[in-house]
Amino acid sequence: MNRYYAKFTAFGSYTPPKVLNNYDLEKIVDTTDEWIRTRTGMFERHIAADNEAASDLAYAAAKRAMESSPVKYREIDLILVATVTGDYAFPSTACILQKRLGMKDIPAFDLSAGCTGFIYAVDVARQFIENGTYKNILVVGVEVLTKITNWKDRNTCVLFGDGAGAAIVSRARSADISHIIDTKIWSDGSQGEYLYQPAGGSRMPASRKTVEENLHTVYMEGNKIFKLAVRSMTSAIDEILKQNKLKPDDVDWFIPHQANLRIIEAIIDRLHVPKDRVIINIEKYGNMSSATIPVAVDEAIRAKKIRRGDVILMVAFGAGLTWGSVLARY
């Protein structure tokens, strides 16, 4: 038995003002607006400025979440940041964010689960709330993937954008309708080589050669990842619904990771989910990895699509490989 329930108190998001659209990309690599639109569903993506790092985006998103929440700064007990593009290898971006927010004497740490990062972080936050350790946790998904993009590789450079999304996860009161119903996370490290950043870690530290060969950028076998993403996200939805004795029809809003519109369409087709109950913003942002889901949820709340009491289901897949789902009554 859970001692307590966790709930989403508020969301906030931030994307940098600079926008790169498909026509801009046509000038950089051998691609076309038509190819990008039909193969991915993307048109624009936001790009961080040269002097903007993950913690800057995370700070802006966290501030917006805090402004939308009754929770005070001094009431935050833990900061969790999901990212693979932190400011530094160390210290953690969560600690840098803690300093910016002036939140003293609380723990803060990063979590690496690729595009599934936000789902993983919500799962971790939920455990701390349910077992009574903490009352309010700031969870951030932030990514600045364009800083590790190979702008000469048309297979990958058209796909990514930068952004941050934040959620306040709090202990629910018994009268609250809002609560996190369930979370599920999985990984399969045996297929991790399909999506990774070869250089810059201890396996292949930075050298003149790694820089010349662009090895500090995203390597992805798109086709393989595509199929695994469809299969894994479909089963992540299926399993969380089954375990909670719910059907796709019981869900008001599906919020899938936005890596490719065709992936989203394949999933909702398999589950017979109507498209008007799926939050899709890939056209405006591209793939922002761990930021896609909290940004999409925040936008949908502010657009008054997602309302208090709605059943929402978030699902993601990413590097690791990792995948997972979060089922909640908002």
CB of 323 to ligand UT7, least distance (A): 10
Cβ atoms of 204 and 215 closer than 8 Å? yes
Under a CB-based contact definition with an 8 Å cutoff, are residues 199 and 330 in contact? no
Name the closest residue to ligand UT7 (Cβ): 222
Provide the binding-site residues for ligand UT7, judged by CB under 6 A.
31, 35-36, 39-40, 115, 154-155, 158, 195, 222-223, 225-226, 229, 259-260, 263, 287, 317-318
Nearest of 276, 218, 292 to residue 45 by alpha carbon: 292
Q: Output 82 or 95, the one with its CB closest to ligand UT7.
A: 82
Pairing of strands 136-144, 6-14: unpaired
Four-point Cα dihedral 182, 267, 161, 290, nearest 10:
20
Token pair, residue 325, equals 């789902």
**Closer residue to ligand UT7 (CB): 5 or 317:** 317
Task: Decide: helix, strand or coil at residue 184.
Answer: strand
- In the complex, least distance from residue 36 CB atom to ligand UT7, rounded to whole angstroms: 6
For the bound state, the minimum distance from the C-beta of residue 115 to ligand UT7, rounded and expressed in Å, comes to 4
| 287 noted as active-site residue | yes
| Of 178 and 217, CB closest to ligand UT7 | 217
Q: Is 22 a catalytic residue?
A: no
Among residues 115, 136, 157, 260, the one annotated as catalytic is 115
Rounded Cα gap, residues 291 and 229, in angstroms: 17
Q: Whose Cβ is closer to ligand UT7: residue 204's or residue 220's?
A: 220
- Alpha-carbon 28 to chain mean position: 27
- Residue carrying the six token digits 């009491």: 309
What residue type is 310 in one-letter code?
D
- Least distance from ligand UT7 to the Cβ atom of residue 216, Å: 18
For 22-76, the DSSP string reads HHHHHTTSS--HHHHHHHH---EEE---TT--HHHHHHHHHHHHHHTSS--GGG-
Nearer to ligand UT7, 95 or 318 (CB): 318
Which of 46, 157, 257, 260 does the annotation list as catalytic?
A: 257
Compare residues 137 and 140 and give the one whose CB is closer to ligand UT7: 140
DSSP summary character for residue 159: T
Residue type, 292: T
Least Å distance between CB 140 and ligand UT7?
A: 18
To ligand UT7, the closest distance from the beta carbon of 34 in angstroms equals: 9
Both tokens of residue 131? Answer: 């077992």
Q: Which are the catalytic amino acids?
A: 115, 257, 287
